[in-house]
Amino acid sequence: MDNNQVKILLQRYRLGLCSAEEIEAIEQWYNDLVNNSSIEVPAGEIAQLDEEIKAVVFEAIKNEKAQLTPVNKKINYLRYAAAILTLVSIGALLFFLLPRKNLDDNMSNRAVATTDALPGGDKATLTLGSGAKISLDSAKNGFLAEQGATSVLKIGPGQIAYSSNASDQEPALSNTITTPKAGQYAIILPDGTKVWLNASSSLQFPSKFDGHQRKVTLTGEGYFEVQHDDQKPFIVQANTAEIHDLGTAFNINAYNDEPTLQVTLVEGSANVKTGVAELILEPGTAAIVKNNQVSKETADVATTLAWKNGIFQFNKASLESVMRQIARWYDLDIEYRATSNQLFSGSIYRNSKASEIFKILEENDSNIHFTINEKKIIVHK
């Protein structure tokens, strides 16, 4: 388990959403803390826990359940200990060990969705140069289409790839892959560049890259791992900005309903240009584009890339920012009858039901509640 997974596990426990196996693992850990002043860990694992961290974990879980029934079932302890103890030692789980505020007692007073909303999945439409459209979510793995000497293949769930013959003399054709609300997809372009598309996004690209540059056009959000080629720079056009690859992995958030366009550099180097300004990014920095002006800031890479890794992750995000992400992924509209000045933090898997996310938001601000009425989220007091 990585840090995000441990955070999510403890958050799910705090909200009463854990599976039986997850509950058993955490309660076994609690019982061992109660009954042992120290825990022996097998060779190769951490031999001694940081006492201060252990005390915080103990107190947090004790507060979760005033009376915890010891777990008597035989379980494979080592299966859980290695994962949990390793991350406890670096403090990864402290982020979500917050008081529950009597959640169980108060749930009856909370707004409960009249209906729930299921998360999105691997959905996209591919439009070929001929104008033909292929529904990728219903297509079988294997050959999809051929354009000149370029083959289009579905290589697995949520993934397609272009295989181009370099000696092909046919002209390049414009292709577009589009994800709907509640959709996502990944594509390997003819040059080997990998692109992940978030919901409500599109990528326009040629069936092969001719000439002295490789240029694509993005709307929405995409993560790029560029196959570098000194002789053919890779350029992404996103709204009024151009992102020039200099050996790069980066994320672009260019939704029209977001207040700014943001380019976050993960590795390599990238040059972000508008009609009036430009700057070069280093790993761990982000370019913020607004009104054709570009500024640089330190990036929260983990939060930026959480969507690609199947996670909603909020780090002091406004309610409106959170709700825009939820609306795209669950294919919902938003009606505000109340708002909040609270900044929201937390993580949860993107395969969760919408109601589970609302529980987290209500934990951050108990003055707002959420109801789903058909295809609309109603935010109210």
SS3 95: helix
Domain final residue, candidates 100, 132, 163: 100
Q: Among the three residues 303, 332, 350, which one is the final residue of a domain in this structure?
A: 303
Task: Give the span between the Cα atoms of 51 and 53, in whole angstroms.
Answer: 6
Whether residue 91 is found in the same domain as residue 171: no
Residues 348 and 225 grouped into a single domain: no
Domain of residue 52 covers 3-100
pLDDT band at residue 261 under the 50/70/90 scheme? very high
- 111 in any annotated domain: no
Res 21: pLDDT:
75
**What pLDDT is stored for residue 91 in this prediction?**
36
Least confident of 59-68, 107-116, 176-185, 304-313: 59-68
pLDDT digits (tens, 9 = 90+) for 153-166: 999 899 999 987 66
- pLDDT higher at 374 or 71: 374
Predicted local confidence at residue 22, as pLDDT: 72
Task: Tally the domains of the chain.
Answer: 3
Quick check: is 153 in a domain?
yes
Same domain for 210 and 282: yes
Q: Which of 109-123, 173-187, 289-303 has the lowest mean pLDDT?
A: 109-123
69/143 same-domain check: no
Last residue of a domain, one of 44, 71, 100: 100
Residue 115 falls within a domain, yes or no?
A: no
* Residues 320 and 356 placed together within one structural domain of the fold: yes
Alpha helices in the chain (DSSP H): 3-14, 20-35, 51-64, 77-88, 103-106, 301-305, 319-330, 354-364
331 in a structural domain: yes
More reliable by pLDDT, 52 or 143 = 143
Q: Are residues 52 and 17 in the same domain?
A: yes
Q: What pTM was computed for the model?
A: 0.73
* Assigned domain for 373 exists: yes
In angstroms, the CA 186 to CA 22 distance is 31
Residue 2 has pLDDT above 80, yes or no: no
Residue 114 domain flag: no
Question: Do 160 and 187 touch, CB atoms closer than 8 A?
Answer: yes
Residue 34 — very low, low, confident or very high, per pLDDT cuts 50/70/90? Answer: low
Are 36 and 174 part of one and the same domain? no
Share of the chain above pLDDT 70, in %: 71
CATH number for the domain that contains residue 372: 3.55.50.30
Judge whether residue 42 has pLDDT over 90.
Answer: no
d(CA 1, CA 351): 17
| Shared-domain flag, residues 342 and 203 | no
The answer to the question of residue 296 being in a domain is yes
pLDDT bin (cut points 50, 70, 90) of residue 13 is low
Which residue has better confidence, 306 or 76?
306
Same domain as 232, residue 370: no
Same domain, 69 and 52: yes
pLDDT for res 235: 96
Same domain, 291 and 361: no
**pLDDT of 256 above 90:** yes
188 & 281 share domain: yes
Distance CA 131, CA 144 (A): 14
Q: Return the pLDDT at 148.
A: 78
Q: According to the model, what pLDDT value does residue 102 have?
A: 33
Residue 32: predicted pLDDT: 67
pLDDT tens digits, 166-218: 666 778 899 999 999 999 999 999 999 999 999 999 999 999 998 899 999 99
Q: 147 pLDDT exceeds 70? A: yes
Residues 344, 355: Cα–Cα separation, whole Å: 16
Cβ contact 10:23 at 8 Å:
no
Whether the per-residue pLDDT at 126 is higher than 70: the answer is yes
44 band by pLDDT with thresholds 50, 70 and 90: very low
**Is residue 115's pLDDT more than 70?**
yes
Q: What is the pLDDT of residue 28?
A: 72
Which are the contacts of 294, defined by CB distance < 8 A and separation ≥ 6?
241, 272, 273, 274, 277, 278, 279, 287, 288
Each residue's pLDDT tens digit, 49-98: 334 444 444 544 444 443 333 333 333 333 344 334 433 433 333 333 33
Domain CATH number, residue 177: 2.60.120.1440
Task: Count the alpha carbons within 13 Å of 111 in the hemisphere toward its beta carbon.
Answer: 24
SS3 81: helix
Q: What's the first-to-final CA gap in the chain, in angstroms?
A: 37
**Residues 1 and 87 sit within 8 Å (Cβ to Cβ):** yes
